[in-house]
Structure 1
Amino acid sequence: MLRKHGLSVDHVLDAKLVDVNGKILDKESMGEDLFWAIRGGGGASSGVILSYKIKLIPVPENVSVKIKLIPVPENVSVFRIERSLDEEENVTDIVYKWQQVAPTTDDNLWMRMLIQPVSSRVNEGEKTIIVSILTMFLGNAEELVALLDKDFPELGLKKDGVMEMSWIESVVWWANYDNGTSPSVLLDRNPDSANFLKRKSDYVHTPISKDGLEWLWKKMIELGKTGLVFNPYGGKMNEIPDSATAFPHRAGNLFKIQYFVNWDEEGIELEKNYIAQIRRLYSYMTPFVSKNPRSAFLNYRDLDIGINNNDKNSYEEGEVYGVKYFNDNFHRLVKVKTAVDPHNFFRNEQSIPTNPSKA
């Protein structure tokens, strides 16, 4: 719901943090700069965050729910549509049009797009590209179909392809459970399970051309496994200044790309192969994504874009990944870090460094 309501950090009113001296601070005692830094700036660089206080909205007395963070209708609408390149389902046209529509359409609509190389159902033994569009709409099915008839007729969405459900049921649906599964399944945990994965990220400012997409399909098929997720921005994200919180990726970003590859089998050689594959696709995407800096999303923790050894070169090493994660906000984060943790006690491979000349 970021296109409608922004990010969680945009709704934080207060926080509790343990600083390097062991003191518990709140918004008032930590000061404006530190409070700014722990909203989207990687709070672990500054201390141990105990809690956040989130903004609530008024709830009428006749409503059974007593706490509400943001307004959500009684029912939301979801759908999933798949198109295959080898079945001549105008995949390139749909992906090109998605780039125009998803970041600019009604703020109540969020359309994620997955692009994956898979085994062909038409040509045995060959690979093809499957494009899946998964959507949540804060409204009913009729409104959604009417909206996409106008904004995205290439999808051919019909009402019988849309499911209406409560918001918590949509969370279950997004978690890839069958429709009708009880939300209690979200409480299930299997601490002994493990899988292997690698994630990378990019931001896109201008649509990728149809020729560029056709070239991309060939490269993805050659690589064989790495997929892409396009997450649209726009809406509320365009209204909040880059410097309002430490999270900088606001207006000007059409969508964020998540590169993903997963595997189940153990083995160093297998791991090397998949990681090399995702890095190669990331390299191929260079002409299509943000530049100076080539921005990245902090929460995917991509160590490929820079690692800090936290030694005498800490600032120079931190700047390499820091400006990618935080753009111009990186320099303010360094000032905050230097003031609150001058000896760099709170550190990791990609923490905010101190400014050695000020520490």
Structure 2
Amino acid sequence: MFFAWPQWKKNLAALWFAQFSGMGAITGVLAFLPLYVEQLGISDPAAQEWWAGLLLGIAPLFAAISGPHWGAYADRKGRKLMLERVTVAFFLVMLAMAYASSVYEMLVLRALQGVFGGFTAAVLALVTSITPKEHIDFTMSVYQTAMIAGAAFGPLFGGFIADTLGYSESFMSFAALSILSLIIIHLGVQEDFQPQSTANRPSIGRQIRAMVAIPGLRAMLVIMFLIQFAIQVISPILPLYVQRLAVDPAYVASAVGAVVAAAALASAISSAAMGRLSQYWRYEATLLIASILSAFSFALQGLAGSVLSLGLARALGGLFMGAMLPTVNALAYQLIPPDQRGLAFGVTSSAALVGNMIGPVAGGFLAITLGSRSVFWATALLFLLLTGWIYVQRNKLRQKS
């Protein structure tokens, strides 16, 4: 059956597996990086939370800065070539992380990981460029499941390796995942790319300013930022929070991986369902309902008294957030010129990455000043504010849905 598929479906299948393994390598550190900080010489619990937030946030910061430039490069040279180069860089950085001996070395390597970011934006640009317009909702929902499933697999796999073999071995495993992703991209993806003349093409800065000025796109950038901020704000405190819920220290990383996986797998299920539900629900209605229910789920996480109740509340939140991300990407797709999708998805990914960057830093600060549970309550409040903002913007969103 696979060989009878049209080429765009074959590319989508290959890119799904590449995104799955690539995202697994990127997110795998979430299960143990805050715990790894102690092994790197930081013994004070408050300092551990701060350094965890900094290490988790610096890679998205540099990825947000470099993302539009890599996207523009992909528009000029080819998106498949861009993906292959980024994946090689990920492999080298992950391998170097296995031998880091201080938090400062890890900080530099996490920054380098961000500089060579752009994987997700390039995949989005490639997969949408070869998808017929009438199938874009289906493609976005399927692609989103790869991101979410990879984000579930990475921490679960990384936590297991960290607990059974060690932290360095986890980074080596992530390097292997990067190589697997490279092989899948190189052998499984066909791109009929026609280089465009750059003689009269404006500078990247001018292109970005013109992109942000597109009516409706700014609303998408704000929503992407807030969603990713809310998702990542708890990442620096989650391992320590789980540890305080009476978990055996020998299995903390595995327990964190299971909690993260529960949310991500639930997100993958709801994201896949959105490919069909989008035919019946308007985009702005999906965003409104999912946002307010996400606020409720984070309130439940703040009340959790055991790892099981925390995992169930995280899974519930995963269902709602999984519905939001493909909806936002489908809306953004309608606004983006076909010949600038690499740059455009670089810009939209940068908005999400800024949320990924600020979220962990804010989470670490809140945990230090107000306690770990305050992070969940603050996130619930943020989703309530997001609900109100989407409601205000609903007419702009309705025009595009």
| TM-score, shorter chain, exceeding 0.5 | no
More strand by share: 1
TM-score calculated relative to the size of structure 1: 0.27
More helix by share: 2
Which one has a bigger Cα radius of gyration?
Answer: 1
| Larger RCO of the pair (alpha carbons < 8 Å, separation 6+) | 2
